[in-house]
Amino acid sequence: MARGVTKRAILDRPAIAWAIAALWLAYLVAIPIGYMTVDSLTDDGLTLAAYVDFFEDPKLRTAMRNSLTVAAGVAVLSVLVGAPLAFGVARTQMRGRSLVSAAMIVCLVSPDFLLAMAYIALAGPNAGYFNQALRAVFELKTESGPLNIFTLWGLVLTALPHGVSYFFLALVPALRNVDPALEEASRVQGAGPIETIRDVTLPLMRPALLSGALLAFSGSLAMYGPPHMLRLNVLTISIRESLVRLDFKAASAASMVLILMSLAALVLYRHSTRQAERFRTVGGKSFSERAGAEGRIAAAFTVLGIVYVLAVLVVPYGGMTVISLMKSVGMGFSAGNWSFDNYRAVLGDPAVRKAATLSVSLAAATATLVTVMGFVVAYVVIRLKLRGRWLLDYMSIIPLAVPGTALAIALAVVYLNPPLNALGLYGGFGILFVAYLTRFITFGVRTSQSSLIQLSPEFEEASRVGGASGLKTVALITLPMMRQALVYAWLLVFVLALPELSASIILKGIHTQTLSTVLLDIWNGNGGLAQACAFGMTMFASVGLLLLIAAAIAKRASGGLRIGT
Amino acid sequence: MDKKARVRLLAIAFVGALVAQAPAFAQQRLTIYSAYENSQIAPLTKAFEAKNPGVAVDHFRQPGEELLATIELELRARSPKADVVGLNDASIAYLQRRHDAFEPYAAKDVDKARVEMRSLQNVFTPAFVNLYLIHYNTRKISEADVPKSWAELADPKWKNQIAMADPSSSQSVQSFVWFIADHLGKSDPAKFGWDYFKRMGANGVHLESSHGTIRDLTVSGERPIGINLLANAQTAKNRGEPTSNIWPREGVPGELSAFGLLRASKNKELGKMWLDFVISPEGQGLMPASLGGAPVRNDVAYKYPDGSSLDQVKIIPVDSAFISENKRTQARKFHDAVGK
């Protein structure tokens, strides 16, 4: 540090903020992805052999096709299911709007593999309770079906609530923030409701629509738990199998293919929404208090909302609760087959308590650093007019296109080989922390970016004109105005990190089992279905409770946190 | 809450997150990696801890093939964390061949184990015999109707009713694959060999990552027939589940489950105490109720979960050396045949 340079002066230098952001992203994103890219392309010299092997392997080709089919199916169905629900909540007087919004948050928070467990118990072809009921009600002359959860469609169904939640949560605020004058002008000019939606509302919604669909698509590409439980051949499973065979070349190539598939969707999204200025709501004015449609339209949306909540929450988690209380799953609903033993076994298990401590710690630490550094990166990208900020922008969004399984392979490759193996991170807390930071950094950056875009720079410019330094302006003007967004980012990352599975399953060590890996282990025979359901319900209830506490804290801190409602 | 309090809270949460990860302090802790369920190994570890006050056992469980990968990665990272590893003898031989991972140790009383169960170089200490059998749900399938042979499982009558382990994750199923494809494949190629797995694939066999999950699917009735290990049939019986088992008439592959002391262990004396305990009369007596297998000592009384005695079951010892050397090829052939 040069003599005589004050702390304020250093912090006022945009280049230093740029350098901090660049180093942060380089360490978390560029090094692992770059290392894995090189690893997949080299073997005693430059070669495409790993990719040739990948595309020559029929099992891997099937896995790729299955991954794409499921992701596309989830994205399309998320739009078809999520759009009417979002419209109903944002623009009608349907009953149960808060219930639907809460259900979306709960679905997002609860791990997808819990739903997979529940749907297997309900829609397993031979013994699924829902199938048994259907066979009895319709007097079907078969011992199997009619539903079969162990199919690609079953996987789509299992992943759908997550996709719908992403889509819904992206769309509702956008629907509310559209200036009603624009739609009213269209109606005054003689356009009908359909034309108005098509020509005015939908174009304004494009970033939110694409953002929601992209998240549903990439989230489905990245999922590990449900295909593992349903025993379906998708790329994340193939990657893990390659690692189990210690075939790092195959794992790297498969990971790169998966990343490229996700990146393609991301590029498409960026291309469609590159003119961010068009979506700015100057001064943060809200239009949420407009009167919504009533009568039959609202009633129809009410029915849709109730059916959705029943299908994704009440029935599956109700079913899991019932199973969790069974002494023996094989004895079914017989008298005397009920107890809390499974809960006692789970709660009394030191391994579960240790995993809970680790998961909460990891999630809290990740949420904190991701929120802080997310703001720094976003500020550099949006506010500081420096060369190369587009690079930071792209680097910060890349993790969204990197499924946890692929990221874990990249980190394993990096930290098992010189020079970074000297850090001794592999198999410990450190490598999980790095993985979590990388996985969720996009959420921190994007949340801050969205908030900064909507926050008119005139406020900060006025502060600077008034003589305040850049740091003081950030501290006194920018951060307070972004408080709600930052609290939201922390909460979002915390609740998403808590049940993280796809990276943890590969990077866990004996002392670093997380809640999700322990649950998957119990499902995989280390306790059985009833115990897994008891654990799942405990996890579900704990996460829900944490969410309520966090939301209450956020409400006090920011004067009210609104997510969807 | 004011600003200072919030900042403090965040700082405490962050520091707490890091500090909480420090391993619990204990003077003597033995770390065991195995493919056995926590509930299965618990009676054994508790008895060991009771016999050795001041010693605590940490157990880490994964399906066999996944555990092999974990151990290999730890060895590669030069940070093996286990003291003792519990796997079948083929997997232990595999690790020994590739990494010279185990330190030979002749446990006390190892000479009481049946000769064919012992390791020539004392690389492992034999623990129990695990056998393959047909496990079925008695509420879904009657005893009269249940298949009595391995060959019958390929009958379309059992379409979408059977589950078995996937060699991508499970080590033990390699024994079954060898038994069907190689052992029976030579003696009765019309019914067995790789074509048997083709027929099983066409019959919708469900592949699972571990035998414990297969047991649970059998118990729930989702897959009322499981190609499973004796240990899981015993566990189901211990839990009072509505299941029973069949010893197929072609015979059953028998694999040896064992424990080995890692050369890199930092607690070798504790590891040796564990190996001594495993082969002791007390440890062997606990095998059926814990790990669920048949003892390796002749002087310990034993009956199978269905009441059969040892001499009533035709056991075919598996070719561990062949499995150890060919497991990748065997897994690929299996997946090609099953079509999954």
| Domain ranges, ordered by start, for chain B | 26-128+256-309, 130-254+315-338
pLDDT of residue A563: 41
Given this model, what pLDDT does residue A464 score? 81
Asked if residue A467 has pLDDT above 70, the reply is: yes
Q: Which of residues 13-72 of A touch B (CB under 8 A)?
A: 59
CA A129-A133-A138 angle, to 5 degrees, is: 150
Kind of pairing, strands B252-261 and B315-317?
A: parallel
Lowest mean pLDDT: which of A398-407, B26-35, B224-233?
B26-35
Phi, psi of A194 (to 5 degrees): -65, -45
Contacting residues of B for A150, CB less than 8 Å apart: 206
- Report the gap between the CA of B299 and the closest CA in chain A (Å): 31
Flag if A328 and B212 touch (Cβ within 8 Å).
no
What was the pLDDT predicted at A81? 96
Three-point CA angle B43, B46, B47, nearest 5°: 85
Q: Which two tokens stand for residue A505?
A: 């399953």
CA atoms within 13 A on the CB side of A66: 23
pLDDT digits (tens, 9 = 90+) for A268-305: 877 766 654 454 443 444 455 555 667 788 899 999 99
A146 touches B at CB < 8 Å: no
| Residue B75 pLDDT | 84
Q: What DSSP element (H or E) covers A546? A: helix A529-558
Q: Using 50, 70 and 90 to split pLDDT, how confident is the model at A191? A: confident
For residue A465, how many other CB atoms are within 10 A of its CB?
9
Examine the pLDDT at B1 and tell me if it is beyond 70: no
What is the per-residue pLDDT for A359?
Answer: 94
Query: Torsions phi, psi of B255, nearest 5?
Result: -115, 155
Which of B213, B232, B327, B330 to mutate to probe the A interface, most A CBs <10 Å? B213
Please, what is the average pLDDT of chain A?
A: 86
pLDDT bracket for residue A258 (50, 70, 90): very high
Q: What angle do CA B173, B87, B247 make, to 5 degrees?
A: 45
For residues B181 and B199, the answer to whether their CB atoms sit within 8 Å is no
Highest mean pLDDT among A103-107, A160-164, A267-271, A416-420: A160-164
Examine domains B26-128+256-309 and B130-254+315-338 and report if their fold is the same: yes
Average pLDDT over residues B35-57: 92
Q: What is the pLDDT, as a whole number, of residue A2?
A: 42
What pLDDT was estimated at residue A550?
67
Strand runs labelled E in B69-193: 84-88, 125-137, 162-165
Lowest mean pLDDT among A281-295, A403-417, A425-439: A281-295
The answer to whether A21 touches A377, Cβ cutoff 8 Å, is yes
Residue B241 DSSP one-character state: -
For residues A307 and A141, the model is more confident at A307
Q: What is the DSSP letter of A422?
A: G
What is each CA distance from B191 to A562, B158, B331, in whole angstroms? 65, 16, 20
Give the range among A154-158, A308-312, B13-17, B148-152 with minimum mean pLDDT: B13-17
B165 beta partners: B208
For residue A137, how many other CB atoms are within 10 A of its CB? 8
Q: Is B111 exposed, middle or buried (0-12, 13-18, 19+ CB in 10 A)?
A: exposed
**Which DSSP state fits A92?**
B
Range ranked top by mean pLDDT from A197-211, A363-377, A486-500, B311-325 = A363-377
pLDDT band at A184 (very low <50, low <70, confident <90, very high): confident
Report yes or no: A247 at the B interface, CB cutoff 8 Å: no
How far is A381 from A390, CA to CA, in rounded Å?
Answer: 7
Listed in order, the ranges of chain A carrying CATH 1.10.3720.10 are 12-35+342-565, 57-277+297-324
* Contact between chains at A351 and B38 (C-beta distance less than 8 A): yes
**Can you tell me the mean pLDDT for A410-420?**
88
Residue type (1 letter), A272: S
What 8-state DSSP symbol labels residue B137? E
The dihedrals phi and psi of B87, each to the nearest 5 degrees, come to -145, 180
Q: What is the pLDDT of residue A418?
A: 83
Exposure of A74 in the CB half-sphere (CA atoms within 13 A) = 32
CA-wise closest residue to B322 among B122, B193, B179? B179
- A175-184, B144-153, B196-205, range with the lowest pLDDT: A175-184
Q: Which of B58, B65, B213 sits opposite A524 (nearest CB)?
A: B213
Query: In A, residues 468-527, which contact B (CB 8 Å cutoff)?
Result: 509-512, 521, 523-527
CA-angle at A240, arms to A317 and A366, nearest 5°:
65
pLDDT > 90? residue A546:
no
Instruction: Find how far residue B11's CA is from the centre of its chain.
Output: 45
Q: What is the pLDDT of residue A469?
A: 80
Q: What is the pLDDT of residue B6?
A: 61
Residue B239 has pLDDT above 70, yes or no: yes
Partner residues linked to B163 by β-bridges: B206, B226
3-state secondary structure of B171: coil
Residue by residue, DSSP assigns A113-134 as: HHHHHHHHHHH-TTT-HHHHHH
Question: What does the mean pLDDT of chain B come to?
Answer: 89
Mean pLDDT of A18-32: 94
Closest residue on chain B to A418 (Cα): B77
Closest chain B residue to A366, measured at CA: B14
- Which among A182-196, A235-249, B178-192 has the top mean pLDDT? B178-192
Taking residue A467's Cβ as centre, other Cβ atoms within 10 Å add up to 7
Cβ-based neighbours of A519, under 8 Å, separated by 6 or more: A111, A113, A532, A535, A536, A539
**Is A33 in contact with A402 (CB distance < 8 Å)?**
yes
In this prediction, residue A116 has a pLDDT band, given cuts at 50, 70 and 90, of: very high
Given a contact cutoff of 8 angstroms between Cβ atoms, the answer to whether A149 and B217 are in contact is no
Q: Write out pLDDT tens, residues B295-310.
A: 999 888 888 888 887 7
Instruction: Assess A243–B contact: CB distance below 8 Å, yes or no.
Output: yes
Q: Least CB-CB distance to B21: which of A241, A361, A427?
A: A361
Banded pLDDT at A12 (limits 50, 70, 90): low
- Rounded CA separation A551/A426 (Å): 35
Residue A336: CB atoms within 10 A of its CB come to: 7
**pLDDT for res B140:** 93
Sign of CA dihedral A31, A33, A38, A39: positive
Report the C-alpha gap between A112 and B95 in whole angstroms.
35
Chain A residues within 8 A of B221 when measuring between CB atoms:
126-127, 330
Cα separation, A104 vs A78, in Å, equals: 12
Nearest to A525 among B6, B166, B216 (CB): B216
Strand partners, A240: none
- pLDDT over 70 at A543, yes or no: yes
CB contact under 8 A, A361 and B243: no
CATH fold label, A12-35+342-565: MetI-like fold (1.10.3720)
d(CA A219, CA A339): 37
Taking each helix axis as running N to C, give the angle between helix A152-177 and helix A202-222, from 0 to 180 degrees, rounded to the nearest 10: 150
Instruction: Quote the pLDDT of residue B338.
Output: 94
Are the C-beta atoms of residues A243 and A388 closer than 8 Å to each other? Answer: no
Q: Give the whole-angstrom CA distance, residue A207 versus residue A480.
A: 26
Paired strand residues for B129? B256, B294
Q: Which residues of A touch B60 (CB under 8 A)?
A: 510
Contact call for residues A75 and A160 (beta carbons, < 8 A)? no
**Higher pLDDT, residue A224 or A453:** A224
Residues 106-145 of B with CB under 8 A from A: 137, 139
Question: Which DSSP category does A524 fall into?
Answer: T
pLDDT value at A367 more than 80 = yes
Predicted local distance difference test score (pLDDT) of residue A462? 84
**Residue A3 forms beta bridges with which residues?**
none
* Residue type (1 letter), B69: A
A536 contacts A117 by C-beta, under 8 angstroms: yes
pLDDT at A390: 85
Nearest to A449 by CA among A116, A200, A207, A285: A207
Q: Which helix (H) or strand (E) holds B55?
A: strand B55-61
**pLDDT band, residue A50 (cuts 50/70/90):** very high
Average confidence (pLDDT) over A253-262: 93
Of the candidates A423, A483, A471, the residue with the CA atom closest to the CA atom of residue A447: A483
Residues B226 and B138 sit within 8 Å (Cβ to Cβ): no
On the question of pLDDT at B20 being above 60, the answer is: no
B26-128+256-309, what's its fold?
A: D-Maltodextrin-Binding Protein; domain 2 (3.40.190)
> Looking at the domain covering B130-254+315-338, what would its CATH class be?
alpha beta
CA distance B92 to B231: 19
**Is pLDDT of A53 > 90?**
yes
Closest chain A residue to B168, measured at CA: A241
Q: How distant is the Cα of A523 from the closest Cα of chain B, in angstroms?
A: 7
Query: Rg of chain B's alpha carbons, rounded to an integer?
Result: 22
Q: How many CB pairs under 8 A join A and B?
A: 150
Positive or negative, the CA dihedral A456, A462, A468, A469 is positive
Chain A, 359 to 378: residues with Cβ < 8 Å from chain B are 360-362, 364-365, 368
Domain A57-277+297-324 coded CATH 1.10.3720.10: yes
- Supply B271's token pair: 């590891």
Which residue from A minimizes the CA distance to B338? A59
Label residues A211-237 b or e (16+ Cβ within 10 Å = b). bbbbbbbbbbbbbbbbbbbbbbbbbbb
